[in-house]
Amino acid sequence: IRVFDAHDGRHLFDFGKPGYQPGEFNEPYDLAVGKHGRLYVTDSGNRQVDVFDRHGNYLSQLSFAGSPPGRFGRPKAIAVNSAGEVFVVDALYGKVFVFAPDGKFEFSIGGHGANGERLTYLLPIGLAIDTDGSLYFLDQGYRKIDIFRPIAH
């Protein structure tokens, strides 16, 4: 990962290297910046989401189920909302996994299903979160975008 100064475009530093261990990359796909400058990187080849600090130091991995390490199938897109929750699209499982700001798994949305019915996906590949907290979930296989609006408290 290459880091540049946002004001003058000057190269600041690089971090990460190819490999199969935590903090190493094998098909990095997407990244998102969360609270406190944390950087979340989806790595489809290693089936993991690595977390780094603002200086490129490896902190941890997100995992979603079972006993550690709770690997992803094919993590693709990632986004962080204003509350610090992390949303990860997994193309293999056809789901969005949701994590609390502290990295603990909260719940998942969707799953594989026939004919693109509600909450079913064939090849989910992207997501975005708008300023109101709505989640836009792109499924390439069924050629659809599902929108999930936050529940008002």
- At 152, the pLDDT band (50, 70, 90 cuts) reads low
80-120 pLDDT per residue, tens? 999 999 999 999 888 899 999 999 999 888 888 777 677 88
Residues listed for the chain: 153
Please say whether the beta carbons of 89 and 140 come within 8 A.
no
| Contact residues for 110 (Cβ-Cβ < 8 A; gap 6+) | 94, 95, 96, 119, 120, 121, 124, 137, 146
For the chain, percent of residues with pLDDT exceeding 70: 94
For CA atoms 53, 41, 4, 21, give the dihedral sign. positive
End-to-end CA, the chain: 39
Please say whether the beta carbons of 101 and 73 come within 8 A.
no
7-31 pLDDT per residue, tens? 999 999 999 999 999 899 999 999 9
Whole-model pTM?
Answer: 0.90
Quote the mean pLDDT of the chain: 89
